Amino acid sequence: MTRDEKFMRSALELARQALSLGEVPVGAVVVLGERIIGSGFNSRETDKNSLCHAEIKAINDACKNLNGWRLNNCELFVTLEPCPMCAGAVINSRIKRVIYGASDKKAGSCGSVTDLFALPYNHKPQTVRGVLENECSDILSEFFSQLRLSAVQAGSENGIFFFAEGTLWNDSPQHYMYPGIKELLQKLHENYRILVVSIMSSEELDDIIQAHGLDIYIDCRRSYGMSEGLAKTDVLRMLIKRSRLKRAFCTGSADTDRQAAQTCGLPFVYAAYSSGKVRSCDAAITSPAELLQKITLL
């Protein structure tokens, strides 16, 4: 075990404490030489305070223990890439080195979304990425999986059933794809659980989802309505029952998609835009922005 791995395991123990409290499991320690002088874990929900990130708490603890705000010779070990607030705190406290485990594609400010340490501030910490990355990622994945499961069991989520793969991600102009769909999906995913009704294989879908950087529930039924598959209506009924959403609607690009939604009693929004011409569907939308507007009005 390397020195960096040793202290990252201490941060992981703190992340597990956060997990036990139902918090997003992030842990951090501040190290001076071979001694931990500050520690903290995420407790925003418990403390009802947006400042209670693991890094902020660990830095605060270290400053108290050293009786000063300058942490010039200290290192910060944290299980998740620091956000802008925490990266700013690192700069202001003069920490010399930041070591993190998992990258944060949504808020990471040490290289993922931006790199604050590369900007011309008066202090530039060194950065080490990916120490015990798998373990740090696994504990976060465990938390969010349990969170989604709890939400599904409670029937407390809003959901969108997407029919027709081309509507979502096919770049060919012959399919129902328009600029901005990736950004639309990311925006929708903030408030809706996205369920894809697909005839693509699981492997294909997994690759597509990863490429889009989204966390989407997928239920594949190859060739639905065809030789060996189920009809779209049957698939939709099965997904509605299984997902136990509080509120849901459908979007797709075919009349059979609309018929399935209407049969199941769900609102339907057309997403039909092919080769620059709107298909012969009533109330068809022609852009992601229009789809988002129609969805928010449902």
Scan for tokens 């081309």, then name that residue. Answer: 166
Q: How far is it, in rounded angstroms, from Cα 92 to Cα 261?
A: 54
* Residues with catalytic function: 55
Structure tokens at 214: 């989204």
How many Cα atoms within 13 Å fall on the side-chain side of residue 231? 10
The tokens 């939709």 sit on which residue?
236
Q: What is the CA radius of gyration of the chain?
A: 23
The C-alpha torsion from 56 through 62 and 67 to 69, rounded to 10°, is -50
Separation in Å, CA 130 to CA 50, 127, 136, 273: 26, 10, 9, 42
- Give the span between the Cα atoms of 44 and 13, in whole angstroms: 18
Q: In this structure, are strands 97-102 and 126-129 parallel, antiparallel, or unpaired?
A: parallel
Alpha-carbon distance of 195 to 231, in angstroms, equals 17
| Nearest by Cα to 253 from 217, 284, 211 | 284
Instruction: Tell me how crowded residue 275 is: count the other CB atoms within 10 A of its CB.
Output: 10
> In terms of C-beta density within 10 A (0-12 exposed, 13-18 middle, 19 or more buried), how is residue 49 classed?
exposed
**Rounded distance, CA 125 to CA 94, Å?**
8
Q: Which residue has the tokens 């039924």?
A: 221
